[in-house]
Structure 1
């Protein structure tokens, strides 16, 4: 875990990027970027209806970006810090190879931040 401490300052801002980032991505038509943003933050995947409220949604591009973001988010090496930061885990890693390790590390961090 020690070897990953240098990466935490790079990862944490991605987890808490503001909603205005989504608006800018939608304005550019970057639905893959919107999906990646949701995935890297550990958010539950949005429905087509929810995306359509932002604009003319491209669900395929959104899903592609979301999958990439979730893959990075679900790295168990960062799960402890995510829990420690107080970020609630929405279960997006369930079904992945490292799901159990991620949840255990997240829970350890979550329990320590209380």
Structure 2
């Protein structure tokens, strides 16, 4: 019986071990252009400098590089064929495409995709 108790105690303590890397702050350099690109392709609205500073623990984010990456991401996803596919898959219209030229046409392509996706879902029941 005492042997089982010792093993149970050791097992419980092993589960409480701290992972020394779990909450370690990142010390690497932030790649602002990549951050902007990822925000755009995920459909997020462009973040302001204070939000970037808070999210990435940066005293002074490189806003110019961020916006350059964001514009590159917009070029990748803010296309009628891409947004049609997003709509077919039931994804919301990306906020990153709201302010671009031809946003009305892009939203129409996305809506056609949403309609097609809904139609397909009803017919595949």
TM-score (normalised: structure 1)? 0.66
Q: Give 1 or 2: higher helix fraction.
A: 1
Q: Which runs of 5+ in 2 are unaligned?
A: 1-25, 119-125
**8 A Cα contact 2:83 2:93, kept in partner:** no
Q: Secondary structure at the match of 1:96?
A: coil
**Matching residue within 52, 55, 58 for 2:57:** 55
Rounded to whole Å, the distance in 1 between the matches of 2:116 and 2:100 is 25
Displacement over 3 Å in runs of 4+: 94-98
**8 A Cα contact 1:76 1:98, kept in partner:** no
1:73 CA displacement: 1.0
**8 A Cα contact 2:42 2:94, kept in partner:** no
Q: Which has the larger radius of gyration?
A: 2
Q: Does 1:113 align with 2:117?
A: yes
TM-score (normalised: structure 2)? 0.61
Where does residue 99 of structure 1 map in the other structure? Answer: 103
Which structure 2 residues correspond to residues 1-114 of structure 1 after superposition, within 5 A? Answer: 27-53=28-54, 54-56=56-58, 57-114=61-118
Rounded to whole Å, the distance in 2 between the matches of 1:67 and 1:39 is 7
Figure out how many residues of one structure are paired with residues of the other and give that number.
Answer: 90
